[in-house]
């Protein structure tokens, strides 16, 4: 929130709070509690249904979607990277070594500048949670996910999503994020694209042009 906006809203809240005999914080909490929440908070979908819905949404966003098991993850990463002709990829700190197949160069990405990240072929990462209903991947500055620049600068992103990381709705996602809400958090819904100028869709404006997702059952 901008400083000016915060100042104006603070004065409005203070004026209302004074009239109600409440403090500004009490007024803010009451306003938040009074927000209508008629939207879906959860879903009856089971695990298979959540994965199917997430895959459908990712396909709609023009992302590549692959499925495998935990035992087959390394082989699937190998297959996807070879199909994309990628050789040199950044990885966040604490990326499990057993994810990474031989025959590629995986470089630690955490301390690299934006210019250095622009010279790698892509990024291999995990995520914190994925939202099936919106087809969104949520990354935080955490193990196997790293700083925000990692998922913004390289032109290609391969993200690993485990079945138990998938929720159906946005409220379920925020409930999962609550304990780590102070961490920098990035929501990714398909490859970066915009149609702001003359309704012509351009990919890669705010992040990678190409996104692949491996769903691990």
Question: Is 188 domain-assigned?
Answer: yes
Q: What angle do CA 42, 138, 75 make, to 5 degrees?
A: 110
Domain count, the chain: 2
Pairing of strands 166-167, 136-140: unpaired
Residue 196: how many other CB atoms lie within 10 Å: 9
- Which residues fall within 8 angstroms of residue 107, CB to CB, at 6 or more apart? 88, 89, 90, 91, 120
Domain hosting 27: range is 4-34
Q: Over 60: is that where the pLDDT of 1 sits?
A: no
Question: Is 174 domain-assigned?
Answer: yes
- The pTM score is 0.84
Mean pLDDT to the nearest integer, 157-181:
95
The verdict on 66 and 29 lying in the same domain is no
End-to-end CA distance of the chain: 39
What CA–CA distance (Å, rounded) separates 48 from 26? 43
Q: Over 80: is that where the pLDDT of 196 sits?
A: no
The verdict on 10 and 115 lying in the same domain is no
Can you give the pLDDT at residue 39?
83
Can you give the pLDDT at residue 18?
66
The verdict on 153 and 132 lying in the same domain is yes
The verdict on 28 and 70 lying in the same domain is no
Can you give the pLDDT at residue 33?
87
Question: Is 42 domain-assigned?
Answer: no
Q: Over 70: is that where the pLDDT of 10 sits?
A: yes
What CA–CA distance (Å, rounded) separates 123 from 204? 14
The verdict on 108 and 85 lying in the same domain is yes
Tokens of 165: 């990381």
Tokens of 175: 């409930």
Can you give the pLDDT at residue 164?
96
The verdict on 171 and 201 lying in the same domain is yes
Q: Report in angstroms the alpha-carbon separations of 95 from 49, 98, 108, 127.
A: 28, 9, 9, 11
- Which residues fall within 8 angstroms of residue 43, CB to CB, at 6 or more apart? 50, 132, 133, 168, 169, 172
210, β-bridge pairs: 156
Q: Please tell me which residue, 193 or 8, carries the higher pLDDT value.
A: 8
The verdict on 181 and 87 lying in the same domain is yes
Can you give the pLDDT at residue 162?
98
The position carrying tokens 């390289």 is 154
CATH of the domain at 79: 3.40.50.10420
Can you give the pLDDT at residue 153?
95
The verdict on 79 and 149 lying in the same domain is yes
Q: Over 80: is that where the pLDDT of 21 sits?
A: no
What CA–CA distance (Å, rounded) separates 102 from 23? 61
Q: Please tell me which residue, 193 or 97, carries the higher pLDDT value.
A: 97
């Amino acid at each position: 929130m901008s400083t000016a906006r915060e100042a104006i809203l603070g004065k409005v809240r203070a004026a209302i709070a004074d009239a109600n005999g409440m403090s500004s914080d009490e007024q803010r909490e009451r306003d938040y509690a009074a927000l209508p929440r008629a939207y879906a908070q959860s879903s009856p979908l089971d695990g298979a249904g959540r994965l199917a819905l997430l895959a459908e949404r990712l396909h709609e966003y023009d992302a590549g979607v692959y499925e495998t098991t935990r035992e087959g993850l390394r082989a699937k990463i190998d297959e996807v990277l070879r199909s994309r002709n990628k050789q040199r990829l950044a990885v966040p700190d604490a990326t499990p070594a057993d994810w990474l197949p031989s025959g590629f160069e995986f470089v630690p990405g955490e301390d690299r500048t934006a210019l250095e990240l622009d010279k790698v072929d892509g990024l291999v990462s995990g995520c914190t949670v994925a939202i099936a209903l919106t087809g969104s991947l949520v990354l935080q500055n955490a193990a196997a996910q790293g700083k925000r620049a990692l998922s913004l600068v390289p032109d290609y992103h391969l993200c690993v999503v485990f079945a138990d990381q998938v929720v159906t709705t946005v409220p379920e996602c925020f409930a999962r994020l609550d304990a780590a809400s102070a961490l920098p958090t990035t929501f990714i819904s398909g490859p970066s694209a915009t149609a702001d100028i003359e309704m012509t869709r351009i990919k890669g404006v705010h992040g990678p042009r190409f996104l692949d997702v491996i769903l691990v059952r």
